[in-house]
Amino acid sequence: MSIHQAVINWQRAPHESEAKTYSRNHRITLNGGQQVKVSASEEFKGDPNCADPEQLFISSVASCHMLFFLAIADFQGYQVDSYEDNPVGYLESNDRKGKEMTRIELSPRITFRGDKVPDQKTISRIHTNAHKNCFIRNSITTEVTVNQV
């Protein structure tokens, strides 16, 4: 078992453009002291210059998938030279009259180096195993798909 923590800090301040409400801006402090400026998404009166929880959510899924992909590829003797993804999450209405992140699409672009380069079938198999093992994906009900570019 491992334990993961963060610190969330918000202080009341006026909203930058709407006098009748408050600023959604806050700060998340992570293990190494890194600070992330966060706000609600712009459509919920947030600051477009900050990360929003939905972006952080889809980023955590994509990052977890990537880390498992890298580990599996390395274990199988493949050297990944670069890995880039632009995950897209869909916040949609649900049956309970609320919203939820219904699906996330990953679209990783991967380059390899060295003499041993996997074919498409092997890359698909590595993605499948990464998908099955990703801790974050295993913790959510959101549908996650991997579009191989």
Residue-number span of the structural domain to which 13 is assigned: 7-44
Q: Is the pLDDT of residue 17 over 90?
A: no
CATH number of the domain enclosing 60: 3.30.300.20
Q: What tens digit of pLDDT does each residue of 27-41 get? A: 999 998 999 999 999
Q: Does residue 1 lie within any of the structural domains?
A: no
Q: Does residue 2 lie within any of the structural domains?
A: no
Q: Does residue 86 lie within any of the structural domains?
A: yes
- Do 77 and 123 lie in one domain? The reply is yes
Q: Is the pLDDT of residue 143 over 80?
A: yes
Total domains in the fold of the chain: 2
- Do 11 and 60 lie in one domain? The reply is no
Q: Does residue 91 lie within any of the structural domains?
A: yes
Q: What tens digit of pLDDT does each residue of 79-119 get? A: 999 999 999 999 999 888 899 999 999 999 999 999 999 99
Q: Is the pLDDT of residue 48 over 90?
A: yes
Q: Is the pLDDT of residue 148 over 90?
A: no
- DSSP secondary structure, the chain, as one string: ------EEE----B-SS-TTSB---EEEE-TTS-EEEE---GGGT--TTSB-HHHHHHHHHHHHHHHHHHHHHHHTT-EEEEEE---EEEEEE-TTSSEEEEEEEE--EEEEESS----HHHHHHHHHHHHHH-HHHHT--SEEEE---
Give the largest Cα separation in the chain, rounded: 62
